[in-house]
Structure 1
Amino acid sequence: MVVTNVAASASIPSRMELPVGGGVAEFMIPVLAPGAEHDELFAVPTHRRAVIVAGPAITVRGDQLGLLRRTVRWTDEVELFVHPVTARLAPSASGLVRDLEGEVTKTITNDDISFHALRSYEPGDALRNVHWRTSARTGQLMVRQFEETRRSQLTIVHTTDRAAYASDDEFELAISITASIGVQVVRDGTRMSIVSERMPLSTATPTSLLDDTSRLVETSGDHANLRDFTRDATKRLPAPSVVMLVGGSQVPLADFRAAETVFGLDTQTIGFRAELGAPSRIAKVSGLTVVTIGQITDLPRVMRRVRP
């Protein structure tokens, strides 16, 4: 971090104070000519994912006896984001369907893209859907019916419940899994929602997503189980075509299967278990795909084999 543009015209040195996280960095600013500048380089430790609040930067000037003192505030508080470790995934590695017409559902509608059949006209039907050739041949108005389609919509449900994880490092691994998948899906341009117990995550840009993952902290007691959390967190979201449930090694497989029942039959569900040091693998449990990740560097290789 560079503290710059500190100008002074006084004949006495100044001391700069910069609160960083829970500490305060201090710098001595020498006597400066009017309009002069002095730069100080300050390195912020970034060994672990975090949001570090820095500032405000202030200068304190006074005499050695402490009789005179002047404090000047130079900056406001700023947030410094230490992003989680991520793995670069291949485009469309999440196995999402990328189709201009979306995914065909079993719902019949009167206005969509995928043609299904003809039926007799009923009062209130839009005249633009009348099939005039068939109507002329049969002597009665016939209208088109369509199968409802929808664009691919991914929902990632990430639990931050500390009971789901065997250790802090496993908690960090799960966040790295969510961040890695989320960043690639944003780059792919697929619609996506990401939810956790205390906050939804921004999916506007890769940077905003990573910033929000830096804010995630362990929680406790928000919901009785993964299914209740999933139901409450997704009930106001668009209907998903693919759901990814992300948790730790302490989440029973039965909880993943129970959370799967929150969604309809048209929704494909994949469970991700962060299990630090375990062999990374893909398994089928009662029809549910469960992906175990032992280290984040395994994620690209495993994701190439995931098929919802």
Structure 2
Amino acid sequence: MEIVVITGMSGAGKSQAMKVMEDMGYYCMDNLPPQLLSKFAELTYKSTKHIEKACVVVDIRGGEFFKSLYEELEKLSDMQIDYKIVFLDASDEVLIKRFKELRRPHPLNANGSIIDGIKEEREILNDIKSKADYIIDTSKLNLGMLKAEMTNIFIKGEKREKITILISSFGFKNGILLDADMVFDVRFIPNPYYIPELKEHSGKEKIVRDYVFKWPQTNTFLLKTLDLIEFLIPHYIDEGKSQLVIGIGCTGGKHRSVAIAEELANELSKKGHSTMLFHRDFQ
């Protein structure tokens, strides 16, 4: 029997992740009191429905009982039940925004500030995060991206390096990409915007990509950038980073940055990296 334990920060998307697991055929239960985990596993295993795959969401909503989670996980091991821990996280800024949009208080600080609740929760969850098999940062993920991440893990069975590379194009005229770990400025490449027959097209289209990549400096830039990213990935992993955000910027975020972001994401995917692509200023 296999059990997936989803935990993590409040507001990071645990309920959405559980729905994805349900769509993948897992028997799911949300907000399971931690002290009932082994009992749930036992009942599920003995069920007449012959349930082989189950998923539970366990988090600080369990209050003081959350401390019993570690003991319950040991019981699962004693029962020879295979379990995996998925920890969902997001930046403080994103979590605050989500709580404000939903007009919900933080569960650890219902009458106080959201940021104080987030800080306290991080301290409580620090140990379980270090024991997680998979850490998914949902700061930049929509539901489709989250589903792709979990599908890669639990259906495709891909060996994960525990880091996701998110490539985002953007236009400097609309402001720099604030949450990027690395930003590359590609305005040194001739601008298709000034070519009448290319102006209304985008970097997603072959006619623009061919123009952008006909310049030797574009191809040299791509090769050197790939080498740099490949060099940095294992070091970021060693530092515990679960998501690497790379910004590719041009003037308007429609031509050069889009074309290069598309190609960069494609090449990293070919090398076996978990890669996602996002165009901030162009859809």
Same fold (TM over 0.5): no
Q: Which has the higher helix share?
A: 2
- TM-score, length basis structure 2: 0.28
The higher radius of gyration belongs to 1
- TM-score, length basis structure 1: 0.26
Q: Which has the higher strand share?
A: 1
